[in-house]
Structure 1
């Protein structure tokens, strides 16, 4: 299963960014780069994206990469939702939000995030 993929959800094309259980390192950075490439290939303000961070770990390198990733994606993203955010990940999300000038809607489950996204 590809961690970065488009899926049809209730008739809408949604980008799934599955960062669940990822740990800092080259694989995490490669996944961020793959997501960036996929998003940048889409028309501006067209992407509905859900980022699943369930059980993921971040360090300063990953946090910096996520900030750059989020800022670069801003022209392409219509709406974004996040799931799996708790504890220190909430602090990281707040930092990314401030850096990128974007707000994120956090949800307790991927299904809740998807339901919200398709209403946008």
Structure 2
């Protein structure tokens, strides 16, 4: 399964980062791949879709995701996140606050996220 994909939806190019069910090692690898891909893009031009459904990891992984969000900030025009439920919404809010990202929105499904991104 590819964890990083370039999608086209209604004419928008979206970078899809699939952390769903990833082990911590897979997640760290995807973070590095994502950084490499995103930093090659023009600033304020990237649309991201991040799936974190059932992603398990400790505080180190949470900090790595915060750093990833900070790294992407200059490049991402807007982003969508799916798979955040329950207590993880508090962690998500903390990551947003610490990274200074305001252009990320939560969705229940990948389809809803892609549809929203395609209108931005």
Question: What TM-score comes out, normalization by structure 2 length?
Answer: 0.94
SS at the partner of 1:102?
Answer: coil
Q: Deviations over 1:28-56 (max 9, x none)?
A: 21111111111111100010001011111
Q: Which residue of 2 aligns with 1:116?
A: 116
Task: Count residues in correspondence.
Answer: 119
Aligned counterparts of 1:88 and 1:22: Cα–Cα separation in 2: 19
SS at the partner of 1:114?
Answer: helix
Q: Using the TM superposition, give the Cα deviation of residue 88 of structure 1 relative to its aligned residue in structure 2, in angstroms.
A: 2.8
Q: Which residue of 2 aligns with 1:11?
A: 11
1:93-108 equivalences under 5 Å are: 93-103=92-102, 104-108=104-108
Q: Using the TM superposition, give the Cα deviation of residue 58 of structure 1 relative to its aligned residue in structure 2, in angstroms.
A: 2.6
Alpha-carbon distance change, 35 to 93 in structure 1, aligned in 2, over 3 angstroms:
same
Shift >2 Å, 4+ stretches = none
SS at the partner of 1:56?
Answer: coil
Aligned counterparts of 1:3 and 1:102: Cα–Cα separation in 2: 23
Report the aligned-residue RMSD.
1.0
Q: Which residue of 2 aligns with 1:20?
A: 20
Q: Which residue of 1 aligns with 2:34?
A: 35
Q: Using the TM superposition, give the Cα deviation of residue 65 of structure 1 relative to its aligned residue in structure 2, in angstroms.
A: 0.5
Aligned counterparts of 1:38 and 1:2: Cα–Cα separation in 2: 14
Structure 1 residue runs of 5 or longer lacking an equivalent are none
SS at the partner of 2:37?
Answer: helix
Q: Deviations over 1:50-87 (max 9, x none)?
A: 10111111311101101111001100000000001002
SS at the partner of 1:20?
Answer: coil
Q: Which residue of 2 aligns with 1:2?
A: 2
